[in-house]
Amino acid sequence: MTDITLLIVDDHPVVRDGLRGMFAAEGSGFRVLGEAPDGVRGVELARELDPDVVLMDLRMPGGDGVDAIAELTRLGARSRVLVLTTYDTDTDTLPAIEAGATGYLLKDAPREELFAAVRSAAEGRTVLSPAVATRLVTAVRSPASVADTTLSARESEILGLVAKGTANRAIAAELFISEATVKTHLTHIYGKLGVKDRAAAVAAGYDRGILGRS
């Protein structure tokens, strides 16, 4: 039986070392082809090495995971992307899945669950951790009228910078995320506040007390 080939993309060397050791164990059925410290290098190596599965972290200085997933999707890469992260909020989960991730798993998953998820992802089957699956099902079943309109900490942070007149590119540089990710957050902010542009979002932010008193 042919081993499933992997590329590990994570900004923490200790995490990459741990995963490589885990998957390199004799008889595991996996073979790690390479490692990358950020999404940009991850895309380069995915194109060069053509692994069956890319294990992708999300928040990484120098190139986040959502942008990398979107780029691999745009390029038509054969590799399946399984997100492996510590974050399970809607603002992390939904953009990753929308960008083309095959699965989403949390880093506290047991070894056998991770192995099973990689095997499933390699076969093109969707994989979601129980916590993420529950959140998504709940969101789908919830009527729009009771949808969560509370801004996440990151969204509030971005709205605060928008209120100061900071451009998207400058926000991205200050928060160590891509400009595309800033735009994604803004889209979610607009949706939650029921507005269509930056000015209206700032006005709504003051009106709701998110930005303090106007």
Q: Are residues 126 and 27 both part of a single domain?
A: yes
Does residue 44 belong to any structural domain of this protein? yes
pLDDT confidence band for 183 (50 / 70 / 90):
confident
Confidence of residue 130 (pLDDT cuts 50, 70, 90): confident
Q: What are all long-range contacts of 184-189, with beta carbons under 8 Å and residues at least 24 apart?
A: 184/66, 184/95, 185/91, 185/154, 185/155, 185/158, 186/158, 186/162, 188/91, 188/155, 189/151, 189/155, 189/158, 189/159
Of the ranges 82-86, 136-140, 153-157, 180-184, which one carries the lowest mean pLDDT score? 136-140
What total number of domains does the chain contain?
A: 2
Give the domain range for residue 161. 153-208
Residues 159 and 137 in one domain: no
Residue 214 domain flag: no
Q: Name the strands in the sheet holding 4-9, side by side, starting at the edge strand that comes first in the sequence.
A: 30-36, 4-9, 53-56, 80-85, 103-106, 127-128
pLDDT at position 145, please?
Answer: 43
pTM: 0.66
The lowest-confidence range among 70-74, 87-91, 191-195 is 87-91
Same domain, 97 and 187: no
Q: What pLDDT score does 213 carry?
A: 54
Q: Which of 143, 164, 182 is the last residue of a domain?
A: 143
State pLDDT tens for residues 53-66: 999 998 888 888 98
Q: What angle do CA 98, 101, 103 make, to 5 degrees?
A: 120
Do both 27 and 90 map to the same domain?
A: yes
Tell me the CATH number at 173.
Answer: 1.10.10.10
Q: CA dist 94 to 103, 156, 177, 205, Å?
A: 11, 18, 17, 23
Same domain, 116 and 167: no
| Domain co-membership, 133 together with 30 | yes
Residue 164, helix vs strand vs coil: coil
Residue 172 domain-assigned (yes or no): yes
For range 63-84, the mean pLDDT: 92
Please indicate, yes or no, if residue 107 is contained in any of the structural domains: yes
Residues 53 and 113 occupy one common structural domain:
yes
Answer yes or no: do 118 and 157 share one domain. Answer: no
